[in-house]
Chains A and B, each alone.
Chain A
């Protein structure tokens, strides 16, 4: 039986405001537990929430960037449930009237561009954190995180593979960071998602039984967890077992999903409009102003890289999706670097270095100006591409210019023909047998001489010049 997959994602992103959603405590991390709190985020009796206007601005920007309609009368609602990390026993969220609705964005798939619908984007406050004491049967509650502003972005069930889900999440990440409204730091949990997955026989209209995988906090996990879940669904169906609608978690160590709770235990949240917070009335002119002031978004950036800078479709896509990479890229260009070369350095050697050292692009400690200088030194013929590659680690955290480093290491390429010819003549005398071979038609031997020359110059001979000179001497 052939199956098709239906996936919907709920992405949670932390908004990078300075203060929290309903009080003026800072959103800074790292304070000792419960130190960064006030009566409001502690949910003390008598305290009341006051909406941080910046949070509305950020959510509206996101809505505009994802083609949503913006509600001019959105409302906060209470989601009631008991848990020790929830100090008021309700989370202030949005229910019937979310701030943004009916949007969409485009992702690149194997079959070209695909539009994915966005059902809604709503605002909510984060809860605190439970700290489980080791060797103790008690837990502690840290409320430093309570009241951190979050957006929840709910997609339509229109993603049909784990790759599409991953691209969708990458695109959303790119938009959030391009807007400057989220740090995008997934390791810190600033962006994570829940995936709703189901499969159905190809052609069937009704959805299959769906499971929800909670708290996926990397692009890789999104793909792996969904792939695992699709395969699990297939096996259950093909083996004639009934799938249970439930919530599952991804175990990234064992690479499998496991059940967290089934639908029967699903909670009753008793949502109702929060009487402490008036309806959020938005002025159309203000929204239009925000629309005007949106920065360049990934789609527009990609188009510009392709059409204005001549990058390939693939390079433009990859660069434009990363805020960090595209920003770095543009700084290399500003410093005079060639676009194509700059892109190659960033997506090639620098990315390899990032992966090896497990560092972000900026954390490599190589300034964009250095890459621009490196590119022009190659173009001038001062150093070879190979020398440049070898030099890359030396650029890390260096305050010298590339030129200074090149000189200090004595890396300057030998292009002087007289100097090279002297050495070539010596080699020809030394290796009479190989000269014979060459002249007898075995032109491959040319490589041997180039190798010898490189050895003698410790790799500094300009390869183009060396090749030309050796050939002329051997042919002569």
Chain B
């Protein structure tokens, strides 16, 4: 019942009193208690009784005829880098440096979820500060893929993807900077969406690469993702990069007849993309063709530059964004306080994992005088060029078709 229903159906039934949130929650916690200890999905979560109590409150409100929000009584997880003010959900970013960090405020998306009467039950494991694509770079151990524990779940929102894939929640919020929602969703067999930059407020999302970070949804279907996006999207005056345009439609009534799809040739190159993935693309291609869509292959040269450009920009921004974790005001502070400089370096060396340190150092390098123009400046120009080319492409096409990841879930990276 719970497994097959869509978010919309299920919350509708909870609002109508046909299904009790308490039942849904109990079944979620059965899954959590059975599997969380070995899959390592949650960084922090409510205990069963607290969660059930919140569910019963929803049921009582429904029973008293109160009008409830669109996610009434639905168990939801948020990624560990989304701020929530709840002493049971302390710690942040799966980093030792924020071991006991208690946020004094809720992220915009948390406010939205609460207003929609969702029940946030926990924060999911991730690559530390969202830096990685396997959820192995967590200071609290890796999250495992529920379909095959010898494979990674992807990342950095690996915990989020697994929380949905293993039936622990019906909706998970993750964050995506360079694939961190879409890739783990793909590797765990659930649906993940990175909405357009600016459509969901970043207020309360701990920044990694600010010009690329975006909160997205992971759920069992695109329909569920779209339903949840309705709740979290929209302008927020606290985020200056927040767009005042709303995302259009849920695609349910989309007519594919005559729609034009661009398929970049690189995505079919067996040198670059795994055979299994190419097969999946071809399958999608024939489905679309059957619906009357037009597919054109194009040699998009600029795709070669996407990854190096992403790395330079994201690392540069990260090196600045992560400066505030210095052991002075919150987080882990080194006890060896010889002087200010060593307080900083000891705290940061101890608090940050290797991958985070590597990215901070590279980001610091590409911004340093003498190298700025060669790296950061150049990456900015390349990005502007790509933006232009993609803009042009969308004059011709309605969609660009491509795989989320060049390979399926694999063993340890």
Contacts and interface: CB of A to CB of B under 8 A. Distances in A.
A46 B83 contact: yes
Contact of B317 (A48, A49, A88, A275): A275
A225 to B, nearest CB: 28
A141 interface: yes
Contact of B240 (A48, A78, A90): A48
Contact of A276 (B240, B364, B372): B240
A343 interface: no
B196 interface: no
Interface string B188-212: 0000000000000011111101110
Interface residues on A, range: 20 to 34
A78 B239 contact: no
A207 to B, nearest CB: 21
A275 B363 CA distance: 15
A141 B368 CA distance: 28
Nearest to A85: B328
B324 interface: yes
A276 B316 contact: no
Contacts of A48: 202-203, 238-240
A42 B320 CA distance: 16
B323 A46 contact: no
A186 interface: no
A43 B238 contact: no
Contact of A44 (B104, B319, B320, B369): B104
A270 B368 contact: yes
A36 B141 CA distance: 39
B240 A51 contact: yes
A78 B324 CA distance: 13
Contacts, number: 94
A87 interface: yes
A45 B364 contact: no
Contacts of A51: 240
Contacts of A275: 209-211, 241, 317
A45 B103 contact: yes
A78 B319 CA distance: 11
B367 interface: yes
B340 A47 contact: no
Nearest to A273: B380
B311 interface: no
Interface residues of B, number: 43
Residue in A47, A80, A88, A277 with the greatest tally of chain B CB atoms within 10 Å: A47
Given A268-B368, A270-B364, A272-B367, A43 B237 contact: no
B376 interface: yes
| SS of A interface (majority) | loop
Nearest to B202: A48
A449 to B, nearest CB: 80
A412 to B, nearest CB: 67
A89 B238 contact: no
A49 B211 CA distance: 14
A424 B32 CA distance: 115
A50 interface: yes
Interface string B304-343: 0000000000001101100111101110000000001000
A145 B239 CA distance: 22
Interface string B151-166: 0000000000000000
Given A44-B104, A45-B101, A46-B206, A90 B320 contact: yes
Nearest to B205: A46
Nearest to A128: B329
Interface in A21-71: 39, 42-51
Interface string B170-188: 0000000000000000000
Nearest to A272: B367
B107 interface: yes
Interface in A90-108: 90
Contacts of A141: 328-329
Interface string B219-247: 00000000000000000011111000000
A84 B241 contact: no
B393 to A, nearest CB: 24
A261 B329 CA distance: 27
A21 to B, nearest CB: 12
B204 A46 contact: yes
B344 interface: yes
Given A46-B206, A89-B326, A272 B316 contact: yes
B238 A276 contact: no
Contacts of A270: 319-320, 364, 367-369, 372
B369 A268 contact: yes
B400 interface: no
Nearest to B98: A45
Given A45-B83, A48-B202, A48-B203, A278 B324 contact: no
A277 B207 CA distance: 14
A270 B377 CA distance: 12
A82 interface: yes
Contacts of B326: 82, 84, 89
Contacts of A44: 83, 103-105, 330
Contacts of B98: 45
Contacts of B143: none
B240 A88 contact: no
B357 to A, nearest CB: 15
A39 B320 contact: no
B134 interface: no
A242 B140 CA distance: 57
B329 A272 contact: no
Contact of A46 (B103, B241, B328): B103
Contacts of A271: 367
B402 to A, nearest CB: 25
Contacts of B203: 46-48
Contact of A88 (B101, B323, B364): B323
Given A82-B326, A88-B324, A46 B107 contact: yes
Contacts of B367: 80, 270-272
Interface string B355-372: 000000000100111001
A263 B98 CA distance: 36
Contact of B238 (A50, A78, A82, A88): A50
Contacts of A80: 319-320, 323, 367
B372 A272 contact: yes
Nearest to B328: A84
Given A46-B207, A270-B368, A272-B316, A39 B104 contact: yes
Given A47-B204, A141-B329, 15 more contacts: A42-B329, A44-B103, A45-B92, A45-B325, A46-B83, A46-B204, A46-B206, A50-B238, A82-B326, A84-B326, A89-B323, A90-B320, A90-B323, A268-B368, A272-B316
Please give me the 9 A-B residue pairs with the lowest Cβ-Cβ distance, nearest first.
A89-B323, A275-B211, A270-B367, A275-B210, A46-B204, A45-B206, A46-B83, A88-B324, A46-B206
26 contacts: A42-B329, A44-B83, A44-B103, A45-B83, A45-B93, A45-B98, A45-B103, A46-B103, A46-B107, A46-B202, A46-B204, A46-B206, A47-B203, A50-B237, A50-B239, A80-B319, A80-B367, A84-B326, A88-B323, A89-B320, A90-B323, A141-B328, A268-B369, A270-B364, A272-B316, A272-B372
